[in-house]
Amino acid sequence: MESEDVSIAGLLGRCPAMERLRREVALFGPSDVRVHVFGETGTGKERVAKALHEASPRARRRLVPVNVAGFSDDLLVAELFGHARGAFTGAVAARDGYVAEAEGSTLFIDEVGDMSPLAQVRLLRFLEGGEYRRLGETVARTADVRVISATNVDLARRVQEGRFREDLWFRLNGELINVPPLRERGRDVLLLARHFLREQARRRGETPPALSREVEAALLDHSWPGNVRELENVMHCLGVRAPGREVKVEDLSRSLRARSFRRAGTLRAALRHRETELVQDALQRHGGILSRAAAELGITRQALWAKVRRLGLVGESA
């Protein structure tokens, strides 16, 4: 059993990398240093930005997040800095942008590496002097905003490739914080898994499911390409599948079960896992009709019913 959660503003984990990350948040959060957060998709970069904001004197106002990926030049500039009436087709009224909304607070710019060259220039000007202009206006405005940025790509490399302005990178990168991928966090996987199960059960007023040893092994062995976001989604599904009971290998998705098969300690356990998968698949294809599933598997209906009971799959049969 894992010990109690260790967290700062939702940054759960006991591995050395997470301990280092929390120290960096505690150090740079109270300052106005611009921080760039680097990490793979799903690692929790926005949570790090939120933790930095909540550790700062600006925490009395809410963090303002914006994901800049996919915006056209004019639309992104308008979203960030606002626009005057008639600045472009559809601009029927003047509008403040995210910068004005973040006055006295923190602006979190996610996927900053996807900004267009024009938007990069406009952001650089704002970072240099705190001044900006709405799209379609000539009047300069000012804003007191702390900027935290994030990417899942190496901006230093993009600078070398000529795809990102070096002077903007220097302005954004007052301090670089790396968020570790889940595959490098060891038993934090189990700590986070139990946390997500508890939170879901609390919202539903249920007892949280427990994790069997085989399930723990499968979770630890998975590479988690989607990182913490993927784990949270998996735990959400398991909470629905196994409310208030122990989660078994049979409750896992196919990819996670496959890893459990490889880690099985004995030939008998491995054969049981494989048998369970074959029976489940046959029942699913035939809508739980035992006679049809049995015919596919080459056994009698009675033999299949005995296997269903032995494998604990009674709820999946007709």
Which residue matches tokens 């959660």?
A: 5
Q: Would you say residue 248 has pLDDT above 60?
A: yes
Task: Give me the amino acid identity at 241.
Answer: R
* Residue 214, pLDDT score: 85
Task: Render pLDDT for 171-213 as a digit per residue (tens, 0 to 9).
Answer: 999 999 999 999 999 999 999 999 999 999 999 999 999 999 8
* Residue 273, pLDDT score: 67
Q: Rounded distance, CA 214 to CA 270, Å?
A: 11
Q: pLDDT band at 249, cuts 50/70/90?
A: confident
More confident position, 36 or 241: 36
Residues of the chain with CATH 1.10.10: 267-318
Phi-psi region of 50 (alpha: psi -120 to 50; beta: other; left: phi over 0): alpha
For the ranges 5-9, 126-130, 146-150, 168-172, the lowest mean pLDDT is seen at: 5-9
- Region 124-142 average pLDDT: 90
Cα end-to-end distance, the chain, whole Å: 37
* Residue 318, pLDDT score: 45
Is residue 189 within 8 Å of residue 183, measured between CB atoms? no
Q: Would you say residue 237 has pLDDT above 90?
A: yes
- Percent of the chain at pLDDT > 90 equals 56
Which residue matches tokens 């609390």?
A: 202
Cα-based distances in Å from 127 to 30, 197, 256: 19, 42, 46
* Residue 262, pLDDT score: 52
Helix, strand and coil content of the chain, in percent to the nearest 5, comes to 50, 10, 35
Q: Would you say residue 263 has pLDDT above 90?
A: no
Closest C-alpha to 22, from 2, 1, 8? 8
Instruction: Assign domain 183-263 one CATH number from 1.10.8.60, 3.20.20.370, 3.10.450.50, 1.10.1740.10.
Output: 1.10.8.60
Residues of the chain with CATH 1.10.8.60: 183-263
* Residue 267, pLDDT score: 58
Q: Rounded distance, CA 16 to CA 14, Å?
A: 7
Is residue 124 within 8 Å of residue 132, measured between CB atoms? no
* Residue 1, pLDDT score: 46
Q: In terms of CATH architecture, what is 16-180?
A: 3-Layer(aba) Sandwich (3.40)
Q: Would you say residue 3 has pLDDT above 70?
A: no
CATH 2.60.40 fits 267-318, yes or no: no
Angle at 200 between CA 196 and CA 202, to 5 degrees: 115
Q: Would you say residue 266 has pLDDT above 90?
A: no
Residues of the chain with CATH 3.40.50.300: 16-180
71-72-73-78 Cα dihedral, nearest 10 degrees: -60
Is residue 83 within 8 Å of residue 132, measured between CB atoms? no
